[in-house]
Amino acid sequence: MASSTDLRQAFGQFGTGVAIIALQNSDNQPVGLTVNSLASVSLKPPLLSWCLDNDAQLFDDVALANRFSVNVLAADQLALSNRMAGAGSHVLQHDEFDESAHGTPLLRGALAQFDCHIHERVELGDHIMLVGGIDTARHCSQGRAPLMYFRGNYVGIEVGACNG
Nearest CA to 37 out of 56, 61, 65, 24 is that of 56
Q: Is residue 24 part of a domain?
A: yes
The pLDDT assigned to 124 comes to 93
The pLDDT assigned to 143 comes to 79
Q: Is residue 9 part of a domain?
A: no
Q: Is residue 156 part of a domain?
A: no
Q: Interior CA angle at 100 toward 117 and 37, to 5°? A: 50
Instruction: Count up the domains in the chain and report the number.
Output: 1
The residue type found at 9 is Q
The residue type found at 43 is L
pTM of the model: 0.90
Domain boundaries, position 118: 18-145
SS3 content of the chain, % helix, strand, coil (to 5): 15, 45, 40
Q: Is residue 161 part of a domain?
A: no
Q: Is residue 10 part of a domain?
A: no
The pLDDT assigned to 32 comes to 97
Q: Is residue 159 part of a domain?
A: no
Q: Is residue 150 part of a domain?
A: no
Q: Is residue 117 part of a domain?
A: yes
Check if the beta carbon of residue 131 is closer than 8 Å to that of residue 45: no
Give the CATH number of the domain where residue 53 resides: 2.30.110.10
pLDDT along the chain (164 residues), means of 10: 87 87 94 95 97 93 94 95 92 96 96 97 94 96 85 78 50
Rounded to an integer, what distance in angstroms lies between the CA atom of residue 147 and that of residue 133? 24
